[in-house]
Chains A and B, each alone.
Chain A
Amino acid sequence: MDLTLTDDQAAVVELFSSFFARESSPAVVRASEALGFAPMLWARLQALGAGAISVGESFGGGGAGLLDAALAVEQAGRHLAPVPLVEHIVTSRLLERVGAADELAGVLERGDPVSLALRPVATTAHLLPGGAVVPTFAALTGERLVLVRSEAPGVPTPNGSGLAVADRSVVDGAPLARGASAVGAHSTAVDEWRLLTAAMLVGLADAALEIGVAYVSERHQFGVPIGSFQAIQHGLAEFPGPVSGARLLVARAAWRADHDENDRLPVDASMALLFATELARSVTSRVLHYHGGYGVMEEYDIQLHYRRARGWPAQLGDPAAELDRVARLLYGPSGGR
C-alpha cells in the first residue's frame, strides 16, 4: 500500500484546490444561496474540463477514474461549491455506461450541468439534485432509464441548505436502457454519487475543522485563547483521525472501482457515505458550538458548513438507510435464514 499521491493525482488536487479557493469563496457561496447554483463558477469549471474529468477519452472526456474525481470533488466540498458537480460526473459516466454516445456528446458539447434522480421515480422526480437549474437529467422509472430534457424552473424548492433542488417531471423522458441493465446502471451511478458525495463531505469536514482551529486560536476569554483549554482541545483532537479515515475509505473505494473490483462498490460507497455524513455533522456542530453565540450569526462561515452537512446527504434519503443497505449486502436479507 502506498498513500503517496502520484504526480498526476497531486496535480489534480493542486488544480482544484486553487481553483475552488479562488472561484468558490464564501462570498460566492452566500451569493448563490437563493438559487443554489453559481453559473459563473460552473462556466469556469467547464472551461477546465472538470465535468468530463471521469468520462472515457473515446467520448471526449478526461479518461480519469473515480479516484481522480474524488480528489477533485473533495476540494469542491471544502469550498462548498454551489454547483452540481457530483451529479454531473456520475450522470455523464452513466450515459457512457449505457452506451448513450450521442446523448453524452450532446451533454459535453452544450456544457450545461446534468443530474440524476437518485431514487426510482413514478412520474415526478421529487427534489431532484440540481433540479432548479439542470436542463437535462437521468431517471429510473419503472425499469426504464430515461434522459429528460426540459426547461429548468430556475428557482429551487425553498430549503435550508442552499441547494438547487426542485421537482421535475420525467414523463417525456427519452429511453436509454431498460430492464436489468437499466436498473444496474442506475444503481452503480447512485453508488458513485454516494462515494463522491462522501468525498465532498470529507472536504467540508476538514474545512470546518480548520475553521474551528483558527477560531479557537484567536478567540480570547478569561484572558487566554479558548483553544488553550483542554476541553476545547480534546473536542477538536477527536477529529483528525476520523477525517483521514473517511478520506481513506473514499480513496480505497474509488481505487477498487477503478481497478475492476466493482463488486465492492455498493458496500464501500454506503460505508463511506455514512461515515463521512456522521463525521461532517459532528465536526460542524461542534465547531459551530465553539463559536459560542457567534456561531449562529449568519456572518460567520461555519453555519454554511453546518447546514450543508445535513443537506447534501439528505438528498438521497435518511442516512440510517445506509445501515440497512450494508447489512443486506453483507449479511443477506432480514428473514433470509
Chain B
Amino acid sequence: MDFARDPAILAFQEEVRAVLAEHLTTDVLERVDATGTHHDWGLHRAIAARGWLAAALPRELGGQGRGADQLAALFREVELAGAPYDGMANTMMVAFVLGHLGSAFQRAEVLAPLLAGDAIPCLGYSEPDSGSDVAAAATSAVRTGDGWTITGQKMFTSLAEEARWAFLLTRTNQDVPKHRGLTFFLVPMDDPRVEVRPVRTLSGKRTNITFYDGVHVGDEWRVGEVDDGWQVMLVALAFERGVAGGVSDITALYDAALAHLRDAVDDDGRHLLDDPHVRSRLVRVAIDKEVAELLGDRAAWAAVNGIPNQEGAEAKLFGTEAFGRAAGALLDALGPAGLLVHAALDAPAGGTLEHAYRYAPILTTAGGTSEIQKNLIAERTLGLPRRR
C-alpha cells in the first residue's frame, strides 16, 4: 500500500485548477445561478482546447488515454470548484461511446464537433414511466423508408436547451425481453418535431422534458446495432467506472462551512465555532469527507487495476448519503441565518449550505439512486440470494 499522491495526477490537477481559475469567473457562476443551465461555453471550449473532452478515449481512437484515476481527478477538481460541468460530462460520455462504436459518418459529423467543444449532447434515458428501470424505455423508433421515426417523451433531459443532439434510448422491438429491444440514436435537437419544455428543480438547476413527435432520422444516426442498445449502454457505463460521481461535493461543502464558521458569530456575539454542537457536527462531516474521498480514490484505483467489483457503487452510496446528512446538519448549525438563500445579502457562506440542502436529493438520485446502488452491492459484493 502506498498513499503517496501520484505526481502525474498532482500535475494534472494543477492544470485543471489553472483552467478553472481563468475561466470559472463570478460572472459565469452568477449566470449559472440565474439560468439554472449548468454549462458555460467559454469554460467548455477551454476544456476542449486541452483535449480533456477526449481524456477517456484511447490514444488509438484519437483520445488522451487517461486512466480512471486521472478522470476522477478531473471530475474532483470541477466538483470542488463548483463549476458547471454537465456539458463536459455528457460530452465525454457520448464521445467515449462514439469513439468505440460510432460510424465514420458519426465521427465526422458528431464526434469531431463534440471534441472541438463546438457542440454538446444531452442524454435521453429516463421517461415518465422508466427511471431506475431504464431498460423499460417506451419511446419508439419505427423503420420508415430508409430511416426511423421516433415518438415519445424523455424526462430529465438536462442541457437539452443547449445541446445539438440527444443521445436517445428507444424501443425498436416489443416482442423480446425488454433489454433486447432497445436501440440508441443521435437525434438533432433543431428538428421542428422536437420540443423542449423547461423544468426547474428545487436546487434552481434547470432540466427539461423533451418530446419527440414523429421525428424522422436517417439510419446513419443509429448508434450501435438495431436492438443492441443495452450493449451501447454498457459501453457508456464503462466510461463512468472508477469515476464515482458526487464523492467530492462533501469536501466542497465542508470547506465552505468551515471557512464561514471560523468567523461567524450569533446574535449575542458568540462564536459559532465555540459551540460544542457545531463543533461535533463539523467533525462528523470532516470524518465522512475523509471516508468519501478514500472510497472515491479506491474506486479509481480499482478501475485502473481492472478489479471488477462495486467500488464505484459503494463510493457513490456513501459519498452522496453523507453529503445529505452533512448539508442538513451544517444548515442547522447556522441557526435561523441558515434559511437565507444566495440572493439575501447576508446569507451565511453566500447561501452555499442552504443550496446544498436543496441540491442533496439530486446526488442520491441521479446516476442511479441509493436503492439501485444497494441492489448492486447486495447482489455483487455480498452475494445475497436473488431478490424477491
Give chain A's interface residues, CB within 8 Å of chain B. Answer: 1-6, 9, 67, 209, 213, 216-217, 224-225, 227-230, 232-234, 236-238, 240-242, 244-246, 248-249, 251-252, 255-256, 259, 271, 274-275, 320, 323-324, 326-327, 330-331, 334-337
Q: Is B335 an interface residue (CB 8 A)?
A: no
**Interface pair A237/B378, CB less than 8 Å apart:** yes
Return A234 CB to nearest CB of chain B, in Å: 4
Interface residue? B377 (CB, 8 A) = yes
Docked-complex contact B371 and A234, CB < 8 angstroms = yes
In the complex, how many residue pairs between chain A and chain B have their CB atoms under 8 Å apart? 145
Task: State whether A271 touches B290 (Cβ < 8 A).
Answer: yes
CB within 8 Å for A249 and B318 given contacts A237-B378, A324-B276: no
Taking a contact as CB atoms under 8 Å apart, the answer to whether A327 and B290 are in contact is no
- Whether B274 and A337, one on each chain, are in contact in the complex, defined by CB atoms closer than 8 angstroms, is yes
Smallest beta-carbon distance A49→chain B, Å: 22
User: Which of chain A's residues has its CB closest to B280's CB?
Assistant: A323
Docked-complex contact A216 and B291, CB < 8 angstroms: no
Q: What residues of chain B lie closer than 8 Å to A217, measured between beta carbons?
A: 383-385
Contacts of A237 in B (CB 8 A): 317, 373-375, 377-378, 381-382
Residue of A nearest to B384 (CB): A227
A327:B279 contact, CB within 8 angstroms = yes
CB distance from B63 to the nearest CB of A (A): 23
Q: Which 10 A-B pairs have the closest CB atoms?
A: A241-B314, A245-B291, A233-B378, A327-B279, A237-B374, A237-B377, A248-B294, A228-B385, A237-B378, A241-B318
In the assembled complex, the Cα of A315 lies from the Cα of B236 at a distance in Å of 50
Instruction: Verify A252–B294 contact, CB threshold 8 A.
Output: yes
Q: How far is the CB of A260 from chain B (nearest CB, A)?
A: 12
| B283 CB-CB contact with A under 8 Å | yes
Q: Which residues of B contact A249 (CB under 8 A)?
A: 290-291, 294
Query: CB within 8 A of A213: which of B1, B274, B371, B382?
Result: B382
Query: Would you give the shortest CB distance from A72 to chain B, in whole angstroms?
Result: 14
Given A236-B378, A330-B283, output 10 extra A-B contacts at Cβ < 8 Å: A1-B69, A4-B1, A228-B386, A228-B387, A230-B375, A238-B374, A249-B290, A271-B286, A275-B291, A335-B274
Q: Which of B2-10, B104-112, B135-143 contacts A (4 or more CB under 8 A)?
A: B2-10
The residue in chain B whose Cβ has the minimal distance to the Cβ of A210 is B382
Query: What 0/1 pattern do residues 298 to 339 of B give for CB contact below 8 A with A?
Result: 100110010000110011011000000000000000000000
Chain A residues whose CB sits within 8 angstroms of the CB of B271 once the complex forms: 337
A-chain residues with CB within 8 Å of residue B69 when the two chains form the complex: 1
* Chain A binding surface, main DSSP class: helix
Contacting residues, chain A, for B292 (C-beta < 8 A): 245
- Can you list 21 A-B contacts with CB-CB less than 8 angstroms, sorted by A residue number? A1-B6, A3-B1, A4-B1, A213-B383, A228-B386, A230-B387, A237-B378, A240-B314, A240-B381, A241-B295, A241-B317, A244-B311, A245-B292, A248-B294, A248-B295, A271-B286, A271-B287, A323-B280, A330-B282, A334-B279, A335-B274
Query: What residue of chain B has the Cβ atom nearest to residue A255's Cβ?
Result: B3
Across-interface contacts of A242 in B (CB, < 8 A): 291, 318
Q: Complex formed: what's the CA distance from A244 to B291 in Å?
A: 9
Q: How far is the CA of A327 from the CA of B282 in the complex (A)?
A: 8
Contacts of A233 in B (CB 8 A): 374-375, 378, 382, 384, 387
Chain B residues touching A, majority SS:
helix
Answer whether residue B200 sits at the interface, using C-beta atoms and an 8 A cutoff. no
CB distance from B385 to the nearest CB of A (A): 4
Asked whether, in the complex, the Cβ of B388 is within 8 Å of the Cβ of A228, the reply is: yes
Which residue from B273, B286, B314, B373 sits with its C-beta under 8 Å from A244?
B314
Chain B CB count within 10 A is highest, among A246, A326, A331, for A331
Cβ-defined contact, A251 with B291, below 8 A: no
- What is the CA–CA distance of A230 and B132 in the complex, to the nearest angstrom? 16
Q: Which residues of A contact B1 (CB under 8 A)?
A: 2-6, 9, 67, 251, 255
Tell me, in angstroms, the Cα distance from A331 to B386 when the chains sit together: 48
| B330 CB → nearest A CB, Å | 14
| B31 interface residue (CB < 8 Å to A) | no
- Among B3, B291, B311, B382, point to the contact of A256 (Cβ < 8 A): B3
How far apart sit A242 and B290, CA to CA, in the bound complex (Å)?
Answer: 11
Bound-state Cα–Cα, A230 to B282, Å: 33
B284 at interface, CB cutoff 8 A = yes
Docked pose: A334 CA to B310 CA in angstroms? 41
> Is there a chain A Cβ closer than 8 Å to B40's Cβ?
no
A330 and B286 contact, CB distance less than 8 A: yes
Query: Using Cβ atoms and an 8 Å threshold, which residues of chain A touch B249?
Result: none
What residues on B are CB-neighbors of A271 within 8 Å?
286-287, 290
A3, A227, A336: the one within 8 Å of B301 (CB):
A3
| Residues in A whose Cβ lies below 8 Å from that of B374 | 233-234, 237-238
| Chain B residues, Cβ within 8 Å of A225 | 385
- Contact across chains for A255 and B282 when beta carbons are under 8 A apart: no
B354 at interface (Cβ–Cβ under 8 A)?
Answer: no
Q: In the bound complex, do residue A238 and residue B294 qualify as a contact, i.e. CB atoms below 8 Å apart?
A: no
B297 within 8 A of A: yes
A213, A236, A327 — most chain B CB neighbours (10 Å): A327
Measured CB to CB, the nearest residue on chain A to B2 is A2
A241-B377, A244-B295, A327-B279 are contacts. A275–B287 as well, Cβ < 8 Å?
A: yes
A256 nearest CB neighbor, chain B only: B3
Give, as a whole number of angstroms, the nearest-CB distance from A202 to chain B.
12
Collect the chain B residues with CB atoms within 8 Å of residue A252's CB: 3, 294
Instruction: Provide the B264-296 mask, 1 if CB < 8 A to any CB of A, else 0.
Output: 000000010110100110111011001110110
**CB-CB nearest in chain A for B376:** A237
CA distance A95 to B82 in the complex (A): 49
Q: Which residues of A contact B287 (CB under 8 A)?
A: 271, 274-275, 326
A67 to B297, CA, bound (A): 19
- A241 and B315 contacting across the interface, CB-CB below 8 Å: yes
Q: In the complex, what distance in Å separates the CA atom of A248 from the CA atom of B296? A: 11
Given contacts A323-B284, A330-B283, contact A216 B384 (CB under 8 A): yes
Determine the distance from Cα of A241 to Cα of B314 in the docked complex, in whole angstroms: 5
- Could you tell me the distance in whole angstroms from the C-beta of B185 to the nearest C-beta in chain A? 34
Q: Given the known A-B contacts A228-B387, A241-B295, are A327 and B280 also in contact in the complex, defined by CB atoms under 8 Å?
A: yes
Pick the residue among B2, B6, B295, B301 that contacts A255 (CB under 8 A). Answer: B2
In the bound complex, what is the Cα–Cα distance between A275 and B302 (angstroms)? 23
Task: Give the distance in Å from the alpha carbon of A230 to the alpha carbon of B374 in the complex.
Answer: 9
On whether A227 and B6 interact (CB within 8 A), knowing A67-B1, A275-B287, A331-B282, the answer reads no
Pair A1/B3 contact, Cβ less than 8 Å: yes
